[in-house]
Amino acid sequence: MKKKSLSVKKIIHKKILSHLNNKRILNNYTQFKKNINKYNNYNKLSGAISGGPDSMALAFFLKCYEIEKGKKVYFYHIDHGLRTSSKIEANKIKQKLKFFEINLKVIRWISNKTKNGNLQSIARSNRYRLLFNQMKLDKSELILTGHTRNDLIENFFLRVFRGSGLKGFVSFNELNNFVNGKIIFRPFLDTKKSELQYISKQVFGSYIEDPSNKNPIFKRTKVRNMIEEFSDQGLDLDKITLTINNLSEANRAIKYYINQNIKHNVKKTHKKNFLILNSHFFENPLEISLRSLLEILSSLGGKYYPPRGKKVVKIIKEILNQTFKKSTLHGCIIEKFGNLTLIYKENEKKI
């Protein structure tokens, strides 16, 4: 790089970092660095940028971190094409970030958009699929999102309405391992949304407001409105956060027994996608057997979302009652042979 170009780059970097002279922004960035430094061994990071205040603040902090630490950071935006204005918005975000030397890669979801089923859930599933595919190309294993404490609490109440188990209640914690070793990290779960709105406004001047966030046809919007209403009547969100933290501790204890179950009662064969479960695997409490089997199916099936718990419980009960023979679930074949249960990926030849 020419000396002139290096000089210009230093000036731009100095201007970017000058926003940290704002004490309120600096305090939030300091906490961000404390959280992300847990994963300092990753030399390549990725950021999911939607254009909202949370993700724009994330983009700014990631750029500061990239300058300070010399890390390589990729910035992705998924254009779902669900709104006619989405392409225009994506280009606006890209141009706005360009002034900060942030090269935003816009990835478009090309699909037949249907209103059948849970559209937000379908869009979310495809978003992570596209993100993971791009991360694989860029050889990045860790992606950061702008989810905040507000999102954590909303997700908790959504799970209440769905009748989720313990894992569901704490599934939105800061660190999640998903497909092919890819990690989603949420560094803002201890940050209020109002803080990120302030940062985005100060740094970028504006941000994109997704109109779907206020659309009452979506359950998340209804839950958000409910939380606001109860907060006005005295609901203590700090107490909800404390409840989630307590449930997370209980979940860690159960996770230990799940790991022990898989370690001692699952045998790998000479073929990578074949596993054998002995009879002791299903002698645990149902929650342990259920989540152990869910983990195996998720790993073999290679899908973002795990299979439905009801279907897995049905299979476990049939295995215990000696009525189960064979089933296909989550891209896997499950077969019973005497006291052993064989699980292998679909389209694989038997041993």
CATH of the domain at 231: 3.40.50.620
Measured on CA atoms in the order 221, 224, 228, 229, is the torsion positive or negative? positive
Taking residue 57's Cβ as centre, other Cβ atoms within 10 Å add up to: 30
φ and ψ at residue 14, rounded to 5 degrees: -65, -40
Mean pLDDT of 120-130: 77
Average pLDDT along the chain: 86
pLDDT, position 41: 87
Judge if 131 and 268 occupy the same domain: no
Most confident region among 103-117, 185-199, 222-236 by mean pLDDT? 185-199
Judged by average pLDDT, the poorest of 15-29, 94-108, 223-237, 327-341 is 223-237
How far apart CA 279 and CA 320 sit, in angstroms, is 9
User: Nearest CA to 216 among 208, 205, 224?
Assistant: 224
**239 vs 59, higher pLDDT:** 59
For residue 114, pLDDT beyond 60: no
- CA dist 311 to 293, 306, 316, Å? 11, 11, 9
Q: Note whether residue 172 is domain-resident.
A: no
Judge if 199 and 75 occupy the same domain: yes
pLDDT, position 119: 62
Judge if 127 and 222 occupy the same domain: yes
Q: Note whether residue 248 is domain-resident.
A: no
Judge if 94 and 221 occupy the same domain: yes
**4 vs 222, higher pLDDT:** 222
What is the tally of structural domains in the chain?
2
Helix, strand, coil abundance in the chain, percent, nearest 5? 55, 15, 30
Q: Tens digit of pLDDT for each residue in 144-191?
A: 999 998 888 998 998 888 888 888 888 776 556 555 567 889 999 889
How far apart CA 57 and CA 340 sit, in angstroms, is 52
How far apart CA 196 and CA 178 sit, in angstroms, is 26
The answer to whether the CB of 120 falls within 8 A of the CB of 182 is: no
Judge if 231 and 260 occupy the same domain: no
Burial pattern 155-174, b for ≥16 Cβ within 10 A else e, equals bbbbbeeeebbebbbbbbbb
Last residue of a domain, one of 235, 264, 299: 235
Last residue of a domain, one of 172, 204, 235: 235
Domain CATH code at residue 270: 3.30.465
Q: Who's near 234: CB < 8 A, 6+ residues apart? A: none
Judge if 199 and 260 occupy the same domain: no
Q: Who's near 117: CB < 8 A, 6+ residues apart? A: none
Judge if 102 and 225 occupy the same domain: yes
Question: What letter would DSSP give residue 321?
Answer: T
Judge if 309 and 224 occupy the same domain: no
Most confident region among 8-12, 73-77, 126-130 by mean pLDDT? 73-77
Of all helices (H) and strands (E), which one includes residue 202? helix 193-204
Judge if 222 and 266 occupy the same domain: no
Mean pLDDT of 295-312: 81
Band the pLDDT of 290: cuts 50, 70, 90.
very high
pLDDT, position 6: 64
* Whether pTM exceeds 0.85: no
The residue range of the domain holding 52 is 3-111+118-147+186-235
φ and ψ at residue 165, rounded to 5 degrees: -85, -175
Q: Note whether residue 69 is domain-resident.
A: yes
3 state DSSP class of 280:
helix
Q: Note whether residue 351 is domain-resident.
A: no
Taking residue 3's Cβ as centre, other Cβ atoms within 10 Å add up to: 7
pLDDT, position 176: 61
The answer to whether the CB of 281 falls within 8 A of the CB of 265 is: yes
Mean pLDDT of 219-228: 86
pLDDT, position 329: 92
Q: Note whether residue 177 is domain-resident.
A: no
The answer to whether the CB of 277 falls within 8 A of the CB of 265 is: yes
Task: Using CB atoms within 10 Å of the CB of residue 185, give its burial: 0 to 12 exposed, 13 to 18 middle, 19+ buried.
Answer: buried
For residue 48, pLDDT beyond 60: yes
Judged by average pLDDT, the poorest of 14-23, 82-91, 309-318 is 82-91
Q: Note whether residue 247 is domain-resident.
A: no
Chain-centroid distance, C-alpha 325: 35
Judge if 21 and 65 occupy the same domain: yes
Residue 269 in tokens: 């064969």
Q: Note whether residue 58 is domain-resident.
A: yes
For residue 3, pLDDT beyond 60: no
Q: At what angle do helices 53-69 and 3-17 cross, to 10 degrees?
A: 130
Judge if 271 and 229 occupy the same domain: no
Q: Note whether residue 173 is domain-resident.
A: no
Across the strands, what pairs with 105? 76
Measured on CA atoms in the order 310, 316, 317, 318, is the torsion positive or negative? positive
Judge if 97 and 201 occupy the same domain: yes
Q: Tens digit of pLDDT for each residue in 245-286?
A: 899 899 999 999 999 999 999 998 877 779 999 999 999 999
For residue 115, pLDDT beyond 60: no
